[in-house]
Amino acid sequence: MAVVPTQQLSRRQLEALATLESRVVGADGGRLKLEWGVLRDRPPGATRDFLWLEDDRVLGFMGLYAFASSRIEIAGMVDPQARRRGIATALRL
């Protein structure tokens, strides 16, 4: 169990996020604002995405999006089967 900061998400990580998104939306309904275009094409540099990994599975995600110099948006999700374990709290630190 660990929070893994990333600067650029790998293809495998992006696929894992898509699977996680599907599980979360299936459980909660609605939709998530994950900005897939941004996630796929992050420029190298500052860390903007954080994953919670357990046994090589992505169970949590938090992404930071800076669309304007004075505003940052945050999007995140936790696998429905892994909730109430402090994953979201760990990701926001």
Average pLDDT over residues 69-83: 89
2 phi, psi to nearest 5 deg: -165, 150
Q: For residue 68, is pLDDT > 80? A: no
- What pLDDT sits at residue 93? 63
Q: For residue 5, is pLDDT > 90? A: no
- What pLDDT sits at residue 12? 93
Average pLDDT over residues 27-49: 85
**One-letter identity of residue 86:** G
Q: Please tell me whether the overall predicted TM-score, pTM, comes out greater than 0.85 for this model.
A: yes
Q: For residue 61, is pLDDT > 90? A: yes
44 or 23, which is more confident: 23
Average pLDDT over residues 21-45: 89
Q: Which long-range contacts (CB under 8 A, 24 or more apart) does 6-12 make?
A: 6/47, 6/48, 6/49, 6/50, 6/51, 7/42, 7/44, 7/45, 7/46, 7/47, 7/48, 7/49, 8/42, 8/44, 9/39, 9/40, 9/42, 9/49
Question: Reduced to 3 states, what is the DSSP secondary structure of residue 68?
Answer: strand
Structural domains of the chain, ranges and CATH numbers in brackets: 2-91 (3.40.630.30)
